Every structure is written in structure tokens, then in C-alpha cells.
């Protein structure tokens, strides 16, 4: 299945390198959906977005009720990427050291015991159940792609993708992420229960929602090398000036609309551009269009809008799209 490359450095990082050549990023999207559908049914959109995030080096916040396959999705995505996976369940007493690691003395030698972040894909379950200091430790690792323990910096593996989940229905012991930290997630995906037909199909899944160890069925498609190649392709995606201006105008429009306390930041626009590029590539194009922007914008921008009470983020976004004229499409 896979050749394990013992790339043991100071952080004891073991990268799983898998040779599963893909023809083009356009095909990759369909293949990914097919692979993941073997274990998770009816969440194609989320699969697509997770793939976009992995390519665009972004992190994802998944919000959904319990039992909507958040964990399984993350695990299957990691497997499909051919990358290592770890999961940390956040609780009110999770300490920052569990995430980042700690120094210890074993048999008279000083060693670094790496924390949960030393992986390619980290599922950070129920991030809103842990106090701010632990949340901050995760967000710092997300941002810097390294952690500092006792003054010494340790680099994280690349790729490093955090999939954080939060449960919107949790009411007790909740530490809401402050708005400034929400801005660091590329996407917020609101997961719904799958539709009735998909839920019916789930009944026939061999894992029966009990022992989801069917990941062997999911074929790894990318591997660390493949992901690198995909990112090179991604960086070469053209962003026409009028589409760039369209994105900037949209963001600036959200800052001026009534009912908005905090509009989309400069970082928000940059994230939108990266996501739109990845989305264009996965659709088999090498140029971003305003269609890509419209398609991906809700996932990138919604969680960054801080609105007054009684106002919906979706309405603000819709209003901005209505007010900003789309660029005239040049027909080749």
C-alpha cells in the first residue's frame, strides 16, 4: 500500500509517502469524491472544500451537530491525501502542552515529546470546549507552522492541515472563539445532516457507524509529493486583474454595509484569492473566473463578518454580491 519514509528529525516526523499519480487536478476532485464516498455519504461539497483547503494551505473549521460524520470526514480526507492523521479531543482541561509537546528527561537524556500537532492532518475536535490559552496554542501552530517549547522552535510537518470542529448546540462550558481568531480559518463549513436518500444509503455502509475502520477502502490519491506538485500547479494559476478587483471590491463593500460591525479583512481577501485559485484548478481551468469567486466566497467570508444582532451574515454577503458589479467576461 504505502512506503513509509522514516524521515525522523528532531520532531520525529514520519511522513507517509504514497505513489498514486493523478493525471490532473480536474480529475482529482472527482476521484476524491468517489474515494471518500466509500465511507462518508452525502457530503460531497465538504469533501471538495477540504481538498481545496489542503491545496491552498488553509485550515478549516467544521461546524455541525454530533453524528454528522465530522471525524470520519477528516480521517478519510487525511487518508485520501495519503497523509498522517492525529485527533485531539478538546476538553475544558486540555493543556497547551498536549498540543505542542513538552521536554522530558528519559534515561538521563533530554528529549522532546512531540504533541498532537506533529502530524499532517490534525482533527481538533470541539475546539470551543477548551479555554482560550489552549485555543491560542493551536492557532499559533496553525499560523506559524512551528511550535516553541521552552524557548526552542520545532517545525511542523508540511503539509499541516487543521480541521477544527465545533458543535453549535453545545451550551455548557463553551469558550467561543474570538472573532480575531476565526479570521485565521480559510473556510468555515456548516455541515448539515445528509439528505434522506443518503441517510438511507448509509444504512448499508459496512462500518455501520460503529467501527469506521473501513479506511483501507479509501485509496490514497496524493501523498506528500503529489500535494507538492499540485501546489506548484496551483501557484501557476492566473488571476486576471478584473477578477482580483472584483474580490477586493466585494470585501470593501462588506465593510461599508449597514448592520456590519466588522467586514472582511485584507487577510480575508487574500484567503479568498487562494481558495478561488484552487477551486479553478479543481474545475480543470488555469484561470480564475468570477464564477469561482461566487462559488467559494460564502465558505471563505461568512465567518469573518461580525454583524449586529438580528442580522444574518448570509444576507450581508448576498447584498454585497448584489451591489458589486461582476466583471465583464472576456470571451476568447
Nearer to other proteins, 220 or 268 (CB): 268
Q: Determine contact, residues 274/56, Cβ cutoff 8 Å.
A: yes
Nearer to other proteins, 40 or 275 (CB): 275
Nearer to other proteins, 88 or 162 (CB): 162
DSSP code for 269? H
Interface residue list for other proteins (CB under 8 A): 56-58, 105, 131-133, 135-136, 139-140, 143-145, 148, 150-151, 176, 178-181, 183, 186, 235, 239, 241, 244-245, 247-249, 251-252, 255, 261-262, 265-271, 273-274, 304, 306
Q: At a CB cut-off of 8 Å and minimum separation 6, what does 149 contact?
A: 97, 100, 101, 102, 103, 112
Shortest Å distance, C-beta 183 to other proteins: 4
Nearer to other proteins, 21 or 132 (CB): 132
Task: Say whether the peptide bond before residue 159 is cis (omega within 30 degrees of 0).
Answer: yes
Shortest Å distance, C-beta 152 to other proteins: 11
Shortest Å distance, C-beta 68 to other proteins: 27
Nearer to other proteins, 67 or 108 (CB): 108
Q: At a CB cut-off of 8 Å and minimum separation 6, what does 26 contact?
A: 281, 282, 283, 284
Nearer to other proteins, 131 or 212 (CB): 131
- The residues with which 287 forms a beta bridge, in sequence order, are 238
Q: Determine the Cα angle at 145 with ends 287 and 288, to 5°.
A: 5
In this structure, the number of other CB atoms found within 10 A of the CB of residue 98 comes to 18
Query: 149 is written with which cell numbers?
Result: 517549547
Query: 84 is written with which cell numbers?
Result: 498522517
DSSP code for 248? H
Shortest Å distance, C-beta 218 to other proteins: 26
Amino acid at each position: 500500500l504505502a512506503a513509509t519514509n522514516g524521515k525522523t528529525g528532531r520532531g520525529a516526523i514520519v511522513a507517509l509517502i504514497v505513489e498514486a499519480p493523478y493525471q490532473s487536478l480536474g480529475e482529482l476532485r472527482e476521484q476524491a469524491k468517489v474515494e471518500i464516498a466509500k465511507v462518508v455519504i452525502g457530503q460531497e461539497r465538504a469533501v471538495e472544500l477540504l481538498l481545496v483547503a489542503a491545496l491552498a494551505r488553509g485550515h478549516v473549521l467544521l461546524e455541525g451537530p454530533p453524528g454528522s460524520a465530522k471525524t470520519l470526514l477528516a480521517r478519510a480526507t487525511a487518508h485520501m491525501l495519503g497523509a498522517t492523521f492525529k485527533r485531539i479531543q478538546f476538553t475544558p482541561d486540555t493543556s497547551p502542552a498536549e498540543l505542542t509537546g513538552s521536554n522530558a528527561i528519559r534515561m538521563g537524556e533530554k528529549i522532546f515529546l512531540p504533541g498532537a500537532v506533529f502530524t499532517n492532518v490534525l482533527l481538533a475536535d470541539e475546539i470551543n470546549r477548551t479555554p482560550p490559552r489552549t485555543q491560542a496554542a493551536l492557532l499559533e501552530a496553525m499560523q506559524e507552522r512551528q511550535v516553541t517549547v521552552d524557548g526552542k522552535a520545532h517545525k511542523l510537518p508540511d503539509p499541516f492541515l487543521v480541521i477544527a470542529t465545533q458543535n453549535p448546540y453545545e451550551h455548557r462550558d463553551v469558550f467561543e472563539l474570538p472573532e480575531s481568531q476565526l479570521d485565521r480559518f480559510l473556510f468555515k463549513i456548516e455541515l448539515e445532516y445528509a439528505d434522506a436518500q443518503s441517510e438511507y444509503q448509509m444504512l448499508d455502509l459496512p462500518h455501520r457507524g460503529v467501527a469506521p475502520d473501513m479506511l483501507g477502502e479509501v485509496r490514497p490519491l496524493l501523498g506528500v509529493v503529489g500535494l507538492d506538485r499540485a501546489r506548484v500547479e496551483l501557484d501557476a494559476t492566473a488571476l486576471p486583474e478584473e477578477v482580483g478587483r472584483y474580490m477586493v471590491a466585494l470585501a470593501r463593500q462588506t465593510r461599508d454595509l449597514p448592520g456590519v460591525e466588522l467586514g472582511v479583512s485584507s487577510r480575508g481577501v487574500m484567503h479568498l484569492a487562494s481558495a478561488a485559485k484552487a477551486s479553478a484548478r479543481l474545475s480543470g481551468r488555469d484561470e480564475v473566473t468570477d464564477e469561482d469567486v461566487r462559488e467559494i466566497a460564502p465558505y471563505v467570508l461568512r465567518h469573518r463578518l461580525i454583524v449586529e444582532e438580528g442580522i444574518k451574515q448570509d444576507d450581508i454577503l448576498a447584498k454585497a454580491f448584489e451591489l458589486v458589479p461582476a466583471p465583464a467576461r472576456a470571451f476568447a
